[in-house]
């Protein structure tokens, strides 16, 4: 019997990828969860494991060609038992042993409503997740009911495979309405929920394209060339259009005196380099922002207009914009509040390198709660960064310069760093924006205050 392996949902908002490498050929034996191809999205590259086992009889994916979610990657002939895993071609490792046959489906007891309780902080996105045994999905068409939303604090009924899919595409399983008996969640429920929560932004982006001004025939005035957008540029255009049309932006500007900070940065730079990082102003500011987000929780939030709610996050993941040959990428440093500046500098250096080399992992590009964009290395005195939804704020950093500053009755040269804070005015008031920016500036000018106030 032949079985097809189709490209699964890989991450939120990702419906089209490019195949960069195939790890199997016709005639090879593949096992469940064995990587069979490498793909590249607009944000990262990743290996895709097989969900079928057997002998490969046909490969429909081609290196360098696009592939959409649901497209058939390969066809295998079922050998009646799980085939031993074959190590990917790019790795010299021993073959993996075959996984045991799936365990029989477990009977899930009715979900009892629990009394509402305080919302606990989600598990850190970077924390390792223990492997769970696979179970067979047993929901049938006859058993399927209208999706049921659980009361707050109620246990979630879902198999390990469903929970794994939710983790991989960045969906909070506790938020997904279940259509099975007693609200049990199926794979289709997770996919439907993921599509639904992204409809607004996609609709806004589509609206921008629909009402764009018709272009004239530029060829009347001279030679032109049309080049198709790459996936990063296309997604950036869609997301920024959606943000600009749905988020009421406010941008506030200020300058921070980093004269003393620069002295200390140069003094201790070698120590951080020995650890494998680079002590940059960005790394220091990221650490200060972690403390600022705790003091001003409205900046570490998201807005849910459909339910008229503001979601305050108890985790602190800061994205840092990286300039690459494909466009702007935003890898995320997770749990910044739990790391020192040296650890942040080392991780930031690794994230930036992988982004430029197209080796970023999908989980490194997800889960951000605040973003930093530093153009100081290029130049400029100020700019207005655009909020990256579902976040509500972003900090822009321009190039520092030596300026005269009036201190103790005289003008003295000081190194001044321009900052620009953009935020969603539906969540953050102007006075809060000013307080946030001034607090960050005070901590950078007088780092000892972090020990007193943060």
Under 8 Å between Cβ of 155 and 111:
yes
- Beta strands (DSSP E) in 342-434 are 370-374, 393-397, 401-407, 410-424
CA dist., res. 125 & res. 47, Å (int): 19
**CA dist list (Å): 233 to 23, 199, 436:** 28, 20, 31
What number of CA atoms fall less than 13 Å from residue 223's CA on the CB side? 0
In the structure encoding, which two tokens stand for residue 275, read together? 């650890």
Is there a catalytic annotation at residue 334? no
CB atoms within 10 A of CB 189: 25
Tell me phi and psi for residue 180, to 5 degrees: -85, -175
Under 8 Å between Cβ of 329 and 91:
no
CA dist., res. 404 & res. 9, Å (int): 56
Of the residues 3, 167, 425, 435, which is catalytic?
A: 425
CA dihedral of 102, 104, 105, 107, whole degrees rounded to 10: -150
Q: How far is CA 373 from the centre of its chain?
A: 15
CA dist., res. 426 & res. 302, Å (int): 10
CA dist., res. 5 & res. 25, Å (int): 14
Start-to-end CA span in the chain (Å): 63
Under 8 Å between Cβ of 283 and 341:
yes
Find residue 320's DSSP bridge partners: 372
CA dist., res. 454 & res. 449, Å (int): 8
- Look at residue 367 and give its three-state secondary structure: coil
Residues 6+ apart with CB under 8 A from 275: 342, 345, 346
- As annotated, the active-site residues are 425
């Amino acid at each position: 019997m032949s079985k097809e392996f189709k490209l699964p949902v890989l991450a939120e908002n990702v419906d089209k990828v490019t195949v960069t490498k195939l790890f199997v050929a016709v005639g090879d034996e593949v096992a469940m969860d064995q990587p069979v191809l490498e793909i590249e999205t607009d944000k990262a590259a990743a290996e895709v494991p097989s969900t079928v086992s057997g002998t490969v009889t046909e490969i429909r994916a081609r290196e360098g060609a696009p592939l959409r979610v649901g497209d058939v990657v390969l066809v295998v002939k079922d050998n009646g038992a799980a085939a031993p895993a074959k190590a990917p071609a790019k790795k010299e490792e021993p073959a993996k042993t075959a996984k045991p046959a799936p365990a029989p489906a477990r009977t899930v007891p009715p979900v009892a409503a629990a009394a509402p309780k305080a919302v606990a902080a989600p598990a850190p996105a970077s924390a390792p997740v223990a492997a769970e045994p696979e179970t067979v999905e047993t929901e049938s068409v006859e058993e399927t009911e209208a999706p049921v939303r659980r009361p707050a604090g109620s246990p979630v009924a879902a198999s390990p495979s469903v929970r794994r899919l939710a983790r991989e595409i960045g969906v909070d399983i506790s938020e997904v309405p279940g259509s099975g008996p007693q609200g049990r969640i199926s794979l289709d429920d997770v996919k439907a929920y993921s599509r639904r929560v992204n409809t607004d932004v996609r609709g806004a982006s589509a609206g921008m394209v629909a009402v764009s001004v018709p272009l004239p025939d530029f060829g009347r005035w001279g030679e032109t060339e049309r080049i198709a957008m790459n996936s990063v540029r296309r997604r950036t255009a869609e997301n920024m259009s959606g943000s600009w049309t749905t988020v009421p932006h406010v941008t506030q500007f200020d300058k921070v005196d980093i004269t003393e900070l620069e002295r200390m940065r140069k003094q201790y730079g070698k120590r951080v380099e020995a650890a494998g990082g680079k002590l940059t102003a960005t790394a220091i500011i990221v650490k200060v922002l972690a403390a600022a987000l705790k003091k001003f929780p409205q900046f570490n939030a998201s807005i849910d207009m459909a339910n008229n709610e503001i979601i305050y996050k108890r985790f602190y993941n800061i994205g840092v914009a990286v300039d690459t040959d494909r466009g702007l990428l935003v890898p995320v440093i997770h749990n910044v509040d739990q790391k020192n500046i040296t650890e942040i500098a080392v991780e930031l250096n690794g994230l930036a390198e992988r982004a430029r080399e197209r080796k970023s992992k999908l989980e490194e590009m997800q889960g951000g709660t605040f973003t930093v964009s530093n153009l100081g290395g290029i130049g400029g005195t100020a700019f207005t960064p655009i909020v990256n939804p579902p976040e509500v704020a972003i900090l822009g950093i321009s190039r520092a310069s030596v300026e005269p500053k009036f201190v103790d009755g005289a003008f003295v040269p000081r190194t001044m760093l321009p900052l620009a804070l953009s935020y969603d005015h539906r969540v953050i008031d102007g006075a809060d924006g000013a307080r946030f920016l001034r607090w960050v500036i005070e901590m950078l000018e007088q780092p000892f205050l972090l020990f007193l106030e943060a």
